[in-house]
Amino acid sequence: MKKLSIVVPFYYEEKVAQETYNRLFKVVSNLTDYEYEMIFVNDGSQDNTLPILKNIANLDPNVKVISFSRNFGHQAAVTAGLKEVTGDVCIIIDADLQDPPELIPEMLKLWEDGNAVVYGKRKSRDGESAFKLLTAKGFYTLLNKLSDVSIPKDTGDFRLVDKKVVDELNNLPEHNKFLRGLWSWLGYKQTPFEYERAERFAGETHYPLKKMLKLASDGIFGFSKKPVTFIGISGVCLMVLMFVFLVIGIISAVTNGMAFVWFLLSAMNFIGGLILICLYFIGNYIVRIADNTANRPQYVVEERINS
């Protein structure tokens, strides 16, 4: 009999934790050809999320609970769950129930047809602001223009992944993982699965703009070297501009000395801003190198149940 692993990260999800388990259990109970395990990762929640997960694990031995010592982030929580996977196939799904667990059987059929990765592709996203929808579309458009790897648009972490692909990802030692990009980078036979994304079952999102920007940064700097190319092109352009400025400056100095001063200040501000942007790009690559060479773990597990 085949075995299904389900990885679910939790962060301040006390209002949905029990319902998430109930709906997942209802789905796996009807999968007569599969054994199951659920891997719940508490990403440093300080509300009642962990006590609820503990109670579930005490009643169902097929539920593993991993609790972090603090909040290490969504990608770290998913990574920790993937390390615990023992099934033949794995489903990654968020706890907020925006991605319906009832779609899992259809995704399994696509896996049985030979697909190693089945990624959820959103046809609609109920309950999300116009700002989030617009920025998400802009991010994926920019990322695909910069990256050498094609990353599907309108996708999140909701997906099915074959165990052999999970094992390959677990062998990647890098920090600041952008999992959506890594699945594409690994290759294998992949297919989309379109669905309607629902509103949150309850509670509020704990993924603010700051965390979204961090995720976007990991995606861009983890999958593209083109910002470095931009720096080189900018240097050439600056040399040309400086020559033009020099010519204009000489003419301005002859005709109107004060105009030359204002022109020179504007040029310096422009060049200074561009240099800071270039330093930001370089700094991000250096920070990623420092994170990987520091050899610190990506997360710290404080407690395990059934694991």
For residue 200, CA distances in Å to 19, 90, 119, 120, 135 come to 12, 23, 20, 17, 19
Handedness of CA 200, 211, 118, 12 (dihedral sign): negative
Fold of 2-208+296-305: Spore Coat Polysaccharide Biosynthesis Protein SpsA; Chain A (3.90.550)
- Residue 201 predicted with pLDDT over 50: no
pLDDT digits 0-9 by tens, 75-97 = 889 999 999 999 889 999 988 88
pLDDT at 249: 64
- The pLDDT-based confidence of 177 (bands split at 50, 70, 90) is confident
Please state the rounded mean pLDDT for residues 39-58: 91
Please state the rounded mean pLDDT for residues 110-115: 88
- Residue 281 predicted with pLDDT over 80: no
Q: Pick from 201, 165, 217: which is nearest to 13 by CA?
A: 201
- The pLDDT-based confidence of 282 (bands split at 50, 70, 90) is confident
Q: What's at 125, amino acid-wise?
A: R
Domain boundaries, the chain: 2-208+296-305, 226-293
Q: What's at 76, amino acid-wise?
A: A
* Average pLDDT across the chain, whole number: 77
For residue 152, CA distances in Å to 50, 86, 103, 148 come to 33, 27, 19, 13
Q: What's at 186, amino acid-wise?
A: L
pLDDT at 108: 92
pTM over 0.75: no
Weakest-pLDDT range from 60-74, 206-220, 274-288: 206-220
pLDDT digits 0-9 by tens, 222-279 = 556 666 666 666 666 766 666 666 666 666 666 665 556 666 666 666 677 677 777 7
- Which residues contact residue 278 at a Cβ distance below 8 angstroms, ignoring those fewer than 6 apart? 230, 231, 234
Q: H or E element: which one contains 196?
A: strand 190-197
Q: Pick from 84, 75, 107: which is nearest to 9 by CA?
A: 75
| Residue 128 or residue 57, greater confidence | 57
